[in-house]
Amino acid sequence: MRKKGIVIFLLLGLIIAVLSSLPGSYSVPDKPPGGNFNASSINHVGNVEMVEDGSFEEKTYSSSISGQNALLIDNATVSLNSCKFEKSGDSDGEASDFYGTNAGIFSYNKALVTIKDATISTNGVHANAVFAYDTGVINISKSTIKTSKNNSGGIMVTGGGVINATELTIETDGNSSAAIRSDRGGGTMKVDGGKYTTNGQGSPVIYSTANIEVKNATMVSNKSEGVVVEGKNQVTLENCTLEDHNTTLNGNSTTYKNIFLYQSMSGDADEGVSTFEAKNNNIMTYQGDSIYVTNTTADITLENNTLVNADGDFLRIEAAKWGKSGSNGGEVTLKLKKQSIEGNIIVDAISTLEMSLVEGSRYSGVINQNQDAKEIKLSLSKDSSIVLAGDSYITSLENEDNQNSNIDLNGYKLYVNGEEIQVQERNQEVQEEENSIQEKNKEVIKYIIIGVSVVLFIFIVIYMIIKKTKRMI
């Protein structure tokens, strides 16, 4: 019996070993989905570690050791004025990009850090310059940041960290090195003023898996997209200049573009609505499409911006290499407010667009020229207009002007659900006559005002004469 038990035990062990070696067997993923991840195994170490409140001026903090921060602030309120930070040494991606282990300055565990007039440089792979993680908060102003190697952002948040930045000058040279960067778990970033330049492949000025707001800034991307929003996250721009030279394709990208909204399915960003809002900006696209959406639902609002595109289309919504084939198109809601747009709109067979123009907006271009779109809904306020640059095809039209006189066919045709719409066009003679009547009305009003003024003047003079005569009597 004893020998029989031993044999059975050995057979069970062999079966377990064989099953565990079969392909497709269950294993714990090293990158949990979404923004919830376990960082308990990460050991944060700084060359200098601050765990007590304090103020410091004109200090130098440095580190050349892989995985070590030049300065680590843990659960302390610290002020740093006119300090210098230097970080070198390469590190691995996940620990550095998710948890900030190789960053120049690192704030976490309820640390509140204020940095002013700093000079910060990193020269290592996965060496982000300024990093706020989890409950860490960094307020940084009037500072210069330079990163030289790959995967090294300028300012960065993950896991819910917060960075408030004012009047920074940031330049990154490496690939995958956004000047304003976020990764798994996101956070909040507010940027006001300054200049932000990226020179590497796959290095947009802004990469958002967070809630990012930028105002009054100058942004230049020399090889990559200008702005990337991944998954259920947001970028808001106001009073900025964004200049994009997307000269090099990166990763799965097959098209050049400036503003890119997508879901990578990597687990770095939750699935949901990708949001982009822009107001009073100058946005220049030198190669490719101004806006590109794939494998996500997107909400885009443009108000009173100047958009210039030297090469591509205004908006492209289509399936690409991300997501499950057949269901990886885009679903876009686009609102134009006090906005003028020129450029074509392309929507593929598994993608949709709901586009509204309000408050005097104007669109000029071709919509869905190849008739591929799954659905396109267009709505116009009475004071908004469109001018066609080619035959266009949409699914539905809602127009406050029931005569469609705010649609200039420009010699082309607009089809709504397969039927050509009729437009009550005003010819040039009628328009000139209306303008002439308006000018005559202005002249009449002017003479009426002059006449009333003269009569009032005469009345006053007569009144004064009568009053003076009575006094003499």
**pLDDT tens digits, 108-159:** 999 999 999 999 999 999 999 999 999 999 999 999 999 999 999 999 999 9
What percent of the residues of the chain are helix, what percent strand, and what percent coil, each to the nearest 5? 15, 40, 40
User: Which residues, in sequence order, are bridge partners of residue 357?
Assistant: 336, 380
pLDDT tops 80 at residue 17: no
| pLDDT, tens digit (0-9, with 9 covering 90-100), for 164-189 | 999 999 999 999 999 999 999 999 99
Q: Confidence class of residue 438 from pLDDT cuts 50, 70 and 90?
A: low
What tokens appear for 317 in the block? 């919504």
Query: 3-state class of 55 per DSSP?
Result: strand
| pLDDT, tens digit (0-9, with 9 covering 90-100), for 267-322 | 899 999 999 999 999 999 999 999 999 999 999 999 999 999 999 999 999 999 99
- In the chain, the N- to C-terminal Cα span, in Å, equals 150
What tokens appear for 363 in the block? 């669109």
DSSP letter at 208?
E
Q: In angstroms, rounded to a whole number, what is the distance separating the alpha carbons of residues 414 and 365?
A: 12
Measured CA distances, 149 to 91, 170, 210 (Å): 11, 14, 23
Only one residue has tokens 């000269």, namely: 247
pLDDT tops 70 at residue 213: yes
Side chain identity at residue 396, one-letter code? S
Would you state the pLDDT for residue 470? 65
pLDDT tops 80 at residue 52: yes
Q: In angstroms, rounded to a whole number, what is the distance separating the alpha carbons of residues 131 and 425?
A: 59
Would you state the pLDDT for residue 469? 73
Longest Cα separation, the chain:
150
Burial of 107 (0-12, 13-18, 19+ CB in 10 A): buried
Q: In angstroms, rounded to a whole number, what is the distance separating the alpha carbons of residues 300 and 354?
A: 10
Query: 3-state class of 185 per DSSP?
Result: coil
More confident residue, 84 or 7: 84
pLDDT tops 50 at residue 218: yes
Host H or E run for residue 87: strand 84-88
More confident residue, 117 or 266: 117
Query: In what side-by-side order are the strands of the sheet with 385-388?
Result: 340-342, 362-365, 385-388, 407-408
Phi, psi of 177 (to 5 degrees): -135, 75
Q: How many CA atoms lie within 13 A of 186 on its CB side?
A: 21
Only one residue has tokens 């050791």, namely: 65
pLDDT tops 90 at residue 375: yes
100-104, 459-463, 464-468 — most confident range: 100-104
Measured CA distances, 407 to 277, 314, 375, 398, 424 (Å): 26, 19, 20, 12, 9
Measured CA distances, 69 to 3, 93, 127, 158, 407 (Å): 59, 15, 9, 16, 60
Mean pLDDT of the chain: 89
pTM, two decimals, is: 0.83
Q: In angstroms, rounded to a whole number, what is the distance separating the alpha carbons of residues 99 and 37?
A: 10
449: left (phi over 0), alpha (psi -120 to 50) or beta: alpha
Q: In angstroms, rounded to a whole number, what is the distance separating the alpha carbons of residues 190 and 210?
A: 11
CA 458 to chain centre: 66
The arithmetic mean of pLDDT across residues 381-390, rounded, is 98
The arithmetic mean of pLDDT across residues 336-349, rounded, is 98
The arithmetic mean of pLDDT across residues 436-450, rounded, is 74
Q: In angstroms, rounded to a whole number, what is the distance separating the alpha carbons of residues 429 and 419?
A: 29
Question: Do residues 48 and 71 touch, judged by C-beta distance below 8 A?
Answer: yes
